[in-house]
A and B are shown apart, each in its own frame.
Chain A
Amino acid sequence: MARSLSPPRPSTVPPPGIPLDDAFDDESGVHDIPLPAAVDSQIPTEPPPSSDEIRQVLFNGLPTLEPAEASTQPPAVRAQLPTLRDESSTSPAPAGVVAQLCKASGEHVTQPAPDSDAAVELYTDMEQSGALRAASIPTSRPAANEPPPLANLELAAARMKDCFGEGDYQACLETAEQILARNPNDEGAGSYARTCRRLIEQRHAERIGDLSAIPVVAVSQEQMRWLALDHREGFLLSLIDGHTSIEDLCDIAGMSRVDVLKTIAGLIDAEVLRLDA
Chain B
Amino acid sequence: MKTNASRLLEKMAIAFELRDYEVDPEDLSAESVARKVAMPASQVFKTLVARGDRNGVCLAVIPGDTELDLKALARLSGDRKVDLVPLKDVQPLTGYIRGGVTALACKKDYPVFVDESMDLFDRISVSAGTRGTQILIAPADYVRAVRAKSGPISRPKS
Interface residues of A (CB under 8 A from B): 161, 164-165, 191-192, 194-195, 198-199, 201-202, 205, 247, 257
Contacts and interface: CB of A to CB of B under 8 A. Distances in A.
A192 B120 contact: yes
A195 B156 contact: no
B65 A191 contact: no
Q: Is the interface of B mostly helix, strand, loop or mixed?
A: mixed
A199 B152 CA distance: 14
A170 to B, nearest CB: 15
Contacts, number: 29
B122 interface: yes
B130 interface: no
B152 A205 contact: no
Contacts of B42: 195, 199, 202
Contact of B66 (A165, A198, A247, A257): A198
A194 B116 contact: yes
B44 to A, nearest CB: 14
A247 B157 CA distance: 12
Q: Is the interface of A mostly helix, strand, loop or mixed?
A: helix
A198 B155 contact: yes
Contact of A191 (B66, B152, B155, B158): B152
Contacts of B156: 198, 201-202, 205, 257
A165 B117 contact: no
A257 B155 CA distance: 12
B65 A195 contact: no
B152 A194 contact: yes
A201 B42 CA distance: 12
B40 to A, nearest CB: 9
Interface in B115-138: 116-117, 119-120, 122
B154 interface: yes
Nearest to B119: A191
B158 to A, nearest CB: 8
